[in-house]
Structure 1
Amino acid sequence: MKLLRSMLSWFAASAVAAASLGAPAAHAEDLNFGIISTDSSAVLKQRWQPFIDDMNRQTGLHVNAFFATDYSGIIEAMRFNKVQIGYFGNASAMEAVDRSNGELFAKVLYANGDAGYKSVLITNVNSRVKTLDDVFKNTKDLTLGWGDPNSTSGTLIPGYYLFAQHGVQVNASTFKTVLPSSHEANLLAVVNNKVDIATNNTIELANLQQKHPDQFAQVRVLWTSPLIPSDPLVWRKDLPEATKQKLRDFFYHYAKTDPKEKKVMADITGYAGFAPASDAQLLPIRAVALSRQKEKIAADTHLSDADRKSQIAAIDAKIGALSNAAKP
């Protein structure tokens, strides 16, 4: 009987341990911080871990960094409450808000004082591609380094403001090859002349110029987008209010005066701290995403004229609503 009781106790303890392994967070003080895959996990961990360490020390929370191989991995992790707070781009933040019970609460500040950053199309300085005319006259002969499907500067913004404006859909039928990858991989592919052209952004270029000026000298910028709002921080709406307040106090005051904290932010990628933000930041990004949908519907030959007009009218109504919401 004593042996039986011991076995039952062991099985009960094992069941509790197994359940805890599958739980997203043991309690409100345990959080996973998701970081989108702009670079390799090793590079991101090196950049962000000092910041995570400061967050743990100053808030009393237990925060772990969470990396995935693509943007959707962080979005889905937040959806299933495996990630409770995350660093996103605007397009991926929009998905996290819509699909993962997310809410914007902060945005990054840039050391150079800019209010945001820009998407770019780049090539190697020795490339046969010298101008945008060269791109659009010869797309079927070019290899394009493209961004993650949920990347703002890698896909959404250049897809709308550059390629769609020239009547070009980005796919295997319009280009010789389309190679989706991270910003870091696309930038190195251009530096090493492995792709003809690639999308990227001004943050990555500035970081490359500072750390590897010899590699930066190998890059030519062919196109620059309008300003994109600075990268947002998103948390799950169902976090306890006390936890949210700890995070607000930390993010809104971090790196304001302390030289060590300022260095931590600068080492991430030229950041200077954070400022409050809300879902309203996503309004222009939503308008661009809807415009992209509209273009695809207009080009869909499988739709009847009536269905096409109906769907386009519905999207126009949504864009109009966003425009009204953005007015002061």
Structure 2
Amino acid sequence: MNITSSIQEFQIMFAKLFSGAAITMAMLAAAAAHADDVKVLNFGIISTESSKNLKQDWQPVLDELSKRTGIKVNGFFASDYAGIIEGMRFGKVQMGWFGNKSAMEAVDRASGEVFAHVVNPDGSAGYYSLVGVQKDSPNKSIEDILKNAKGLTFGIGDPNSTSGFLVPSYYIFAKNNVDSKTAFKVIRTSNHEANILAVANKQIDAAVFASDTMARIEERQPAIAKEVRIVWKSPLIAADPLVWRKDLPADVKAKIKDFFVNYGKTGPNAAQEKVQLAKLEYSGFEESSDAQLNPIRQLELFKQKGKLEADANLSADDKKAKLDDINRKLSDLAKS
């Protein structure tokens, strides 16, 4: 190899290295610019009760988040859970407070990722699905409600609600081979607060709602709470997750996570933040991940499995193939 060709090869190699470095630097610069360009974030809040109550409880947290991150944070409310999920899917919502079922939908369909979860006042990391009746109701148990279902009006939660829909669908209906859509005289869908109020006011006979919403009613409207008697309580459900879009810049994610995991714990405003957490019925937030959704995924798959096994219209081969797929997914979740 002569000196001229060696120089030419070196020039080509240098040009490639320089080009690669330039591209890398350009990508890093673009990422940094993208992070700097984040001026406003929308925080989605699922509709467990009225928007007025939710805004009252969450707005001080979002205002403080704005101050700490230097990014304006707006509360985003919708009339149902799907509105928050779709908002995240189309980039109108960048992060938010979800239930586990709606968080699962956000992760699967809306580029979501769990980064934290709430912690209850007693330090526990979970809550319950409840069924309540009016205090003078002759129905004393969930068995009574199922036995008398044809004559009852029943309130259930949003289809994307964990405690309002998924958990009772499995533990009350699927495990008892009951079709909730046809079992009752009337079945109504509403948020947790509305279901509690409807039972208390004898507008419906029984309803599903979350234990944390019931705790807020007991604190704010004790006379209403006294009109409701609990007849069923679910196994513990993992505490509500906070979810952000995966495509948020890394430095923005770091600021958001740091804010939530330290809220009410450190800093000059910790005492005031603890008061605000008490209004939300929380003691704080802890770091989490998508793994907290695995039990909910298992519940959803068990529910699907029960429906398939009871489906007389499927051919044996189709049923076997679908059941094998569900069993594979359940096995994979058990290993994770």
Structure-2-length-normalised TM-score = 0.87
2:292 is aligned, of 281, 292, 298, to 281
Q: Which of 137, 140, 157 is 1:127 aligned to?
A: 137
TM-score by length of 1: 0.89
The one-letter code matched in structure 2 to 1:143 is: T
Aligned pairs, how many? 299
Answering whether residue 174 of structure 2 is matched by residue 179 of structure 1, we say no
Q: How far is 1:201 from its partner?
A: 1.6
Q: Does the Cα contact within 8 Å between 1:37 and 1:70 map onto a contact in 2?
A: yes
Runs of 4+ in 1 over 3 A off after TM superposition: none
Shift of 1:118: 0.7
Q: Do structure 1's residue 296 and structure 2's residue 307 form an aligned pair? A: yes
**Aligned sequence identity (%):** 50
Q: Is the 8 A contact 2:118 2:125 kept in 1?
A: no
Question: Which one of the candidate residues 240, 249, 255 is aligned to 1:240?
Answer: 249
What does residue 224 of structure 1 align with? 233
8 Å Cα contact 1:29-1:243 kept in structure 2: no
Aligned counterpart, 1:308? 319
Residue identity opposite 1:261 in structure 2: E
CA contact (8 A) 1:105 1:277 kept: yes
**Residue in structure 2 matching 1:49, options 43, 48, 59:** 59
RMSD: 1.4
Distance (whole Å) between structure 2 residues aligned to residue 56 and residue 37 of structure 1? 22
Tell me how far apart the structure 1 counterparts of residues 97 and 119 of structure 2 sit (CA, whole Å).
Answer: 13
| Structure 2 equivalent of residue 209 of structure 1 | 218
Aligned positions of 1:1-328 closer than 5 A: 27-171=37-181, 173-257=182-266, 258-268=270-280, 270-325=281-336
Distance 2:107 2:45 in 1: 15
Q: Is the 8 A contact 1:146 1:199 kept in 2?
A: yes
Structure 2 alignment gaps of length 5 or more? 1-34
5+ residue gaps, structure 1: 1-24
Give the distance between the partners of 1:125 and 1:26, measured in 2 at CA. Answer: 56
Give me the whole-angstrom Cα distance separating, in 1, the residues matched to 2:88 and 2:220. Answer: 33
Larger radius of gyration between Structure 1 and Structure 2: 2
Query: 1:13-52 CA deviation, whole Å, 9 max, x = no partner?
Result: xxxxxxxxxxxx9932311000001111111111111111
> In terms of mean alpha carbon deviation, does 131-140 or 178-187 score higher?
131-140
Which residue identity is paired with 1:178? Answer: I
